Amino acid sequence: MKNKKIKKLVFATNNRHKLKEAREIIGDEFEIVSLAEIGCHDEIPETADTLEGNALIKAHWVKDRYGFDCFADDTGLMVDALGGAPGVYSARYAGEHCSFQDNVNKMLSEMEGKDDRNAFFATVVALILDGETYTFEGRVHGSIALEAHGTEGFGYDPIFVPEETGVSFAEMTPDAKNAISHRGRAMRKFADFLKQRQ
């Protein structure tokens, strides 16, 4: 049996939920490490006006300053009736230091009285590997609920209803959500790409 060295890939995050999910999807062919594990405690700017742009900024930041091959993600909620907002500003929709609940409350308020409640979530994963750059996108289409439902998940999960299920992300188990979620879809495309290169 040949003894192949496991390649280290940095995930530009310290979010333990994202790390756990990435490690489960990618498996043991790569060692996935967090920013903290490489000693990166930088406030990485997210100044692009697209998800892909922000993911690339984070991946390049780590590669350029720390030298590791790296991947990063960015996620946004795009609501038709709000002209695609909040988009890249989804995490800080209600202000710079807002909570998940603040964002949910603002969204429900902005959507009050609107008939068109169509929306989609998108995640873009950017990868820098062996000097090359790649991106992978996952999307899930659905609608904004009239009120919050469920206690699972985080962010906009209580008010986003994917079209496949008819119930909010927050009413689904983590496994059921990951099977259809935007991040799950992007991460699986990314993981398939890594496995093909092995």
- Give the active site residues: 74
Helix, coil or strand: residue 60: helix
The total of other beta-carbon atoms located within 10 Å of residue 82's CB is 18
Reference 177, options 169, 188, 185; nearest CA is 169
CB 178 within 8 A of CB 186: no
Alpha-carbon span 156 to 103, nearest angstrom: 7
C-alpha dist (Å) from residue 82 to 139, 140, 173, 198: 18, 18, 29, 43
Reference 150, options 131, 132, 166; nearest CA is 166
The total of other beta-carbon atoms located within 10 Å of residue 55's CB is 27
Alpha carbon 151 to chain centroid distance? 19
Alpha-carbon span 84 to 119, nearest angstrom: 8
